[in-house]
Chain A
Amino acid sequence: MKSVLKNRLAWPVIALVALLAVNQIFRGDFLSLRMQDGHLYGSIIDIMRNGAPTILIALGMTLVIASRGIDLSVGAVVAIAGAASCAYIAASPEPASPATAAVAVVIAVVAGLVLGVWNGFLVSTIGVQPIIATLVLMTAGRGIAQLITDGQIVSVTNDSYKAIGAGYLFTLPISILITAVVFILAAVLTRRTALGTLIEAVGINPVASRLAGLRARNIIWIVYIFSAFCAAIAGLMISSNVTAADANNAGLYIEMDAILAVVIGGTSLAGGRYSLVGTVVGAFIIQTLTTTVYTLGIPPEVTLVFKALVVLTVCLLQAPKARNLLRNLKPASPLRTKEKVAV
């Protein structure tokens, strides 16, 4: 039991199970699934579908954080990707054709990749601190998105495009399937190759990595490009779901949710070792929390307060100091614990 609790995934999983249990207690049909018109329905499916954009962005964020970085610009990338694709569809001669939707998707993904290259350039080549480098795009990005949409909310009517966020395939929502594909892509990309280890190496000790012959620049570039790629897909999903691009509100605060998902999932904000599965669990916790608020009949306005408290609790549970405090019920010498970590 003790060794199970020591696993980094233990706490997030326990938290998720507890949240699901609370929901099940208050709403008996919470965990049940049903088929209707060949589509799978149920609260769990809803949580997964609504959480899909957050999971996507959190996956990209995990790798960025593991490399000792942070990407604050993902919300802005979501807005730009949505704006670019919807603006293209709205302006095209055949706004309802699947081909138009396909081109729109390509445009959004390319826009995302370009923005990722930009972030990666600032961080890896210019050497700007990540939090600041991406702050630039975070600040300017929504302006760019508004520039694309000319400050309007651009609505589109295109069934193919709508399917990305709201359609079904093999009884499951397409957004869940896309997320699963990206998760597998990320897992294969990092664990079947040496990318994961090298990202961790750069995150833990960049100087030593360089002297060992590692080209950190490429690695860092890859993580920011991947993060922006994920954000662009999420942007497509969000705009497709509401069949409109809202430059102001699409993906607002999603960077916060994504970072929280990563942290809750057990990846340290200081970089280094990461867990993609942990991140997915973390994103589920955040999404389930929103649902729980509804289930418990708490006014939805309170969701944010609730989220804040959960974030704090999780962070406290993960903080070594708080754990020591719980274990000994007396404060350990703070310096000594720090020293130990350093050695």
Chain B
Amino acid sequence: MSPLSTVAPPTIKKPSAVRTRMRSGARYAPTLATLVLFILMFIVGAGMYPSFLSGQVLLNLFIDNTFLIVLAVGMTFVILTGGIDLSVGAVVALSMMVTATMLQNGWNPGIVILAVLVIGGGLGLLMGLIIQYFDIQPFIVTLAGMFLARGLCYVISLESIPVTDPFFTGMAQARIPLSEELFISPGVLIALVVVGVAFFVLHHTRFGRTVYAIGGNEHSAMLMGLAVKSTKVLVYSVSGLCSAIAGILFSFYSLSGYSLAAQGMELDAIAAVVIGGTLLTGGVGYVLGSVVGVLVLGIVQTFIAYDGTLSSWWTKIVIGGLLLVFILLQRLFTRRTN
């Protein structure tokens, strides 16, 4: 019994500096590709329709998609851990229903918003707890969460409920001027604050780094003594909270609550996150990438609106196509790095 490995031929393997830099750069490649795509689309749009080339068209992408930005932020947390949250669209609808109903019954808008946040965060927390402590796939638990939230919407009302509260209508109509011609809505500010907070949390707190660690290798993260369990529970709570915020922003935007609202929005959120460069297996991705992903989806819609001859269903087909392209790109990148 003489294992050979005690004999030593002297060879030293060191990764060359060039290779190192290239590989590290690959982390940002998908997100950069999305950014380039966005800029190209904008340039092409400007070439085709002169009115496209205005700052306000760009700002409208934000104004029209505040809720989707916030949803994508929450979804990014979940997908980074390697999970998925299918409940977000339904939680948006539920938040809108709760908002509309409570306001209709004369509650103070502040309390309404607080209640919605608590409900959204609480639902997320509940799903996270079930996923973690009973070891059930996130996919199926959040699916149940989706049914639950949608069902609760139906229970509240099958009809659309208008929102007439002065604070909400004020928020819906308010415009924050940036220059003489350019403006944004308060919702955009809120969404950007959410993005900023998420960025800080993901990159400058231990919680955020644990999110990435779990996506990289959950078992290792556990053996390294990280707070894996609580982090995994919390990301769903973060996603639930983001859904609630998105619901409020959507209420600002649509000034109503409707139980069938935000159907399929979870797909848009997932698409935005994927197009923004987050690996669906977790561990790699950026919240800013997801924002760019939302903007790409937004610009597709703007395109189709500008064109006038294209029917609305082309949006779905194009988003599906983009999703496909980016998935294939991901495939290419992960193959190369492995």
Contact = CB atoms under 8 A, between A and B. Distances in A.
Direct contact of A and B (CB under 8 A): yes
Nearest to A128: B327
A206 interface: no
Interface stretch (B100-108, B144-152, B287-295): B144-152
Contact of B320 (A139, A304, A320, A321): A139
A151 B315 CA distance: 13
Contacts of B141: 312, 315
B140 A263 contact: yes
Contact of A311 (B147, B155, B317): B147
Interface stretch (A20-28, A142-150, A214-222): A142-150
B140 A136 contact: no
A33 B280 CA distance: 50
Contacts of A141: 320
B15 to A, nearest CB: 26
Interface in A255-282: 256, 259-260, 263, 269-270
Contact of A140 (B144, B151, B320): B320
Interface string B52-85: 0000000000000000000000000000000010
Contacts of B134: 315-316, 319, 321-322
Contacts of B320: 136-137, 139-141, 143
B interface secondary structure, majority: helix
Interface residues on B, range: 35 or more
A25 B224 CA distance: 55
Given A129-B280, A132-B327, A312-B130, A139 B319 contact: yes
Interface in B292-331: 311-317, 319-321, 323-324, 327-328, 331
B136 interface: yes
What's the interface size class on A, roughly? 35 or more
Among B84, B315, B320, B323, the one with the most A-chain Cβ atoms within 10 Å of its Cβ is B320
A132 B317 contact: no
A311 B280 CA distance: 25
B91 interface: no
B151 A147 contact: no
Contacts of B312: 151
Contacts of A309: 148
A269 B143 CA distance: 13
B154 interface: yes
A247 B316 CA distance: 12
A306 interface: yes
A131 interface: yes
A139 B271 CA distance: 9
B41 interface: no
Contact of A304 (B147, B313, B323): B147
B140 A302 contact: no
Contact of A126 (B136, B271, B331): B331
A79 B30 CA distance: 33
Contacts of B139: 70, 131, 269
B327 A140 contact: no
B148 A138 contact: no
Given A301-B158, A320-B135, A135 B270 contact: yes
A131 B150 CA distance: 22
B126 to A, nearest CB: 10
Given A126-B328, A138-B267, A143 B316 contact: yes
Contacts of B271: 135, 139
A297 interface: no
A143 B144 contact: no
Interface in B5-57: none
Contacts of B150: 304
B217 interface: no
Contacts of A143: 313-317, 320
Nearest to B86: A256
Most chain B CB atoms below 10 A, which of A133, A136, A138, A302: A136
A322 B136 CA distance: 10
B317 to A, nearest CB: 4
B164 interface: no
Nearest to A337: B135
A311 B327 contact: no
Interface centre among B152, B155, B313 (most CB of A within 10 A): B313
A325 B138 CA distance: 20
B317 A144 contact: yes
13 contacts: A70-B139, A129-B281, A136-B323, A136-B324, A140-B316, A151-B313, A256-B146, A302-B151, A304-B150, A305-B148, A308-B151, A311-B143, A319-B135
Q: Which 3 A-B pairs have the closest CB atoms?
A: A140-B320, A143-B316, A304-B151
Given A140-B320, A269-B139, A315-B134, 20 more contacts: A70-B139, A128-B331, A131-B139, A131-B280, A132-B274, A132-B323, A135-B267, A139-B320, A140-B324, A143-B316, A147-B313, A150-B311, A151-B311, A260-B140, A301-B154, A305-B148, A312-B130, A315-B141, A315-B144, A319-B136
